[in-house]
Amino acid sequence: MIQARSLAYRYPQGPALSFPDVEVPQGGTLLLQGRSGAGKSTWLALVAGLLTPTSGQLLVAGQDLAPLRGGERDRWRGRSIGFLPQKLHLSDALSVERNLSLVYFAAGLAEDKVAVRAALDALGVADLAHRLPGQLSGGQAQRVALARATPLQPKVLLADEPTASLDDQAAAAAVTLLREAARRCGATLVVATHDARVRDALRGAQVLPLVAEQVAA
Can you list the alpha helix ranges (DSSP code H) found in 54-195? 70-80, 96-107, 113-122, 138-148, 168-185
Q: What is the mean pLDDT of the chain?
A: 92
Can you list the alpha helix ranges (DSSP code H) found in 6-95? 40-47, 70-80
pLDDT tens track for 55-64: 999 999 999 9
Residue 215 is predicted with a pLDDT of 53
CB 198 within 8 A of CB 163: yes
Q: How confident is residue 217, by pLDDT bands cut at 50, 70 and 90?
A: very low
Q: How confident is residue 111, by pLDDT bands cut at 50, 70 and 90?
A: very high
**pTM, to two decimals:** 0.91
Q: How confident is residue 214, by pLDDT bands cut at 50, 70 and 90?
A: low
pLDDT tens track for 55-95: 999 999 999 999 999 999 999 999 999 999 988 999 999 99
CB 9 within 8 A of CB 16: yes
How many Cα atoms occupy the beta-carbon half-sphere of 81 within 13 Å?
Answer: 25
Fold classified for 2-216: Rossmann fold (3.40.50)
Q: Determine the Cα–Cα distance for residues 91 and 98; give it in Å rounded to an integer.
A: 9
Which residues neighbour 66 within 8 Å (Cβ) at sequence distance 6 or greater? 57, 58
**Ranges of each domain in the chain:** 2-216
